[in-house]
C-alpha cells in the first residue's frame, strides 16, 4: 500500500491524529508513517520515559512537532483526565486510532474493579472515543480507526456471559473476547454515526513482531516466540491503520473490517445488531456513560 502524493502535497498535511499505545510496535510505526505524510501526531502512552523517547523519534520525521499525553487506559479516571487535556489543547481532531492493547496470563482487576484485558482492549477505546466525539465531529472528515485482531473460529453468543472472565478465565479467550468487542463496537458506532460524516473502521494488522506478545506471558508469549521468525515487521503492520487514517478511497467507507488494506468479512456474530446493542449497553453501564442516539457523549 502506498498513499499517493498530489501536486507535491503531503496527504496528511494539517491532519491532527491521536494514536493510543504509540510508544512502540504498530503504534509507533503508525505514528512515524503518518508524521512523514505531514500529520500532526498526538501520542498517548502509559509510560512517560518511553513516551518521550517515541516523541523524539516522531519529531525527527515530522513537519509539525508531535504532542505527548500520559494516560493509563485501564483507569477510567485517567481516560477522563486525558479527554479533558485533549479538549484543552485541541479545537478538533481528524483521526483517532485506538491501538493500545494488552493481555494477561492471570485474571487481574483494574482500579475500577474490571478485568484488565476487557478494560484496556475494549472499555478504554469505548470510553475515550465517546468522550472525544465532539472534537472529531469538528473535523470535515473525522475518522476513527480501531486496531483489533483476527478472530479464529466462529464465536457464539455465549461469550457475552463471560466478558470479564467471571465464570472462567483463559488468557487467549479473554483476549479473543475483547477483540470481538472491538468489532462489535466498530459496527455499532458506525451505525450510530450515520449521516455525521465520521467514519469508523477496524483492522487486523496480521501477526506482527512487537513487544506485546513477549510481555503478555502465558500462551500468547509462547505463540509469539514460536511464530516470531515469520511475523511481519511493525512497519508492515502499520500499513492498514495508515491507509484507513488518510486514504481518499475510504473517505466514505464506514463499518468495515480491513486486512492488508482490503475489506473483509468477520464472524457472523459481529453482524448481530441485538448482540452489538447489548454489548454497547453493558459497556455504557460499566463506564457510567450516557450516549445519545447518535453516539455522542453527554
Would 266 be classed as within a structural domain? yes
pLDDT of amino acid 207: 74
Q: Which one of the listed residues 175, 187, 243, 257 is annotated catalytic?
A: 175
Length of the chain measured in residues: 298
- The 10 Å Cβ neighbour count of residue 279 is 21
pLDDT of res. 268: 93
In a domain, 291, yes or no: no
Number of domains in the chain: 1
Residue 3 located in a structural domain: no
- 295 located within any domain: no
Q: Is residue 21 part of a domain?
A: yes
Q: What is the pLDDT of residue 150?
A: 84
- Mind listing the pLDDT tens digit of every residue in the chain (298 residues)? 555 444 345 689 999 999 999 999 999 999 999 999 999 999 999 999 999 999 999 999 999 999 999 999 999 999 999 999 999 999 999 999 999 999 999 999 999 999 999 999 999 999 999 999 999 999 988 999 999 988 766 778 889 999 999 999 999 899 999 999 999 999 999 999 999 999 999 999 987 655 655 555 556 555 555 444 555 788 999 999 999 999 999 999 999 999 999 999 999 999 999 999 999 999 999 999 987 534 444 3
Domain that holds residue 143: 16-286
Question: Do the strands 256-259 and 199-204 form a parallel or antiparallel pair, or are they unpaired?
Answer: parallel
pLDDT of residue 202: 98
Domain membership flag for residue 4: no
Please give the pLDDT value at position 155.
79
Residue 240 within any structural domain of the chain: yes
pTM of the model: 0.90
Residue 175 bears catalytic tag: yes
**CATH number reported for the structural domain that contains residue 105 in this entry:** 3.40.50.720
The reply to whether 53 falls in a domain is yes
pLDDT at 263: 97
pLDDT at residue number 291:
76
Are 112 and 75 in contact by the 8 Å Cβ rule? The answer is: yes
Amino acid at each position: 500500500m502506498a498513499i499517493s502524493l498530489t501536486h507535491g502535497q503531503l496527504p496528511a498535511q494539517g491532519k491532527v491524529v491521536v494514536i493510543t499505545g504509540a510508544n512502540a510496535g504498530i503504534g509507533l510505526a503508525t505514528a512515524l508513517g503518518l508524521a512523514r505524510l505531514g500529520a500532526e501526531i498526538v501520542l498517548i502512552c502509559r509510560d512517560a520515559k518511553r513516551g518521550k523517547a517515541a516523541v523524539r523519534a516522531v519529531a525527527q520525521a515530522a513537519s509539525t512537532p508531535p504532542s505527548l499525553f500520559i494516560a493509563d487506559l485501564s483507569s477510567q479516571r485517567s481516560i477522563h483526565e486525558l479527554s479533558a487535556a485533549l479538549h484543552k489543547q485541541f479545537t478538533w481532531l481528524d483521526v483517532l486510532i485506538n491501538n493500545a492493547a494488552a493481555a494477561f496470563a492471570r485474571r487481574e482487576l483494574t482500579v475500577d474493579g474490571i478485568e484488565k484485558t476487557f478494560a484496556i482492549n475494549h472499555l478504554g477505546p469505548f470510553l475515550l472515543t465517546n468522550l472525544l466525539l465532539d472534537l472529531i465531529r469538528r473535523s470535515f472528515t473525522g475518522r476513527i480507526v480501531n486496531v483489533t485482531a483476527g478472530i479464529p473460529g466462529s464465536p457464539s453468543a455465549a461469550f457475552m456471559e463471560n466478558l470479564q472472565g467471571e465464570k472462567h478465565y483463559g488468557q487467549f479467550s479473554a483476549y479473543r473476547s475483547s477483540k470481538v468487542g472491538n468489532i462489535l463496537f466498530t459496527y455499532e458506532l458506525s451505525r450510530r454515526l450515520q449521516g455525521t460524516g465520521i467514519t469508523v473502521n477496524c483492522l487486523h494488522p496480521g501477526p506482527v513482531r512487537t513487544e506485546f506478545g513477549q510481555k503478555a506471558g502465558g500462551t500468547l508469549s509462547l505463540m509469539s516466540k514460536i511464530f516470531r521468525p515469520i511475523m511481519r515487521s511493525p512497519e508492515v503492520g502499520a500499513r492498514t491503520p495508515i491507509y484507513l487514517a488518510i486514504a481518499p478511497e475510504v473517505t466514505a467507507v464506514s463499518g468495515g473490517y480491513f486486512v492488508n488494506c482490503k475489506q473483509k468479512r468477520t464472524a457472523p456474530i459481529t453482524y448481530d445488531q441485538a448482540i452489538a446493542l447489548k454489548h454497547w449497553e453493558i459497556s455504557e453501564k460499566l463506564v457510567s456513560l450516557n450516549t445519545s442516539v447518535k453516539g455522542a457523549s453527554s
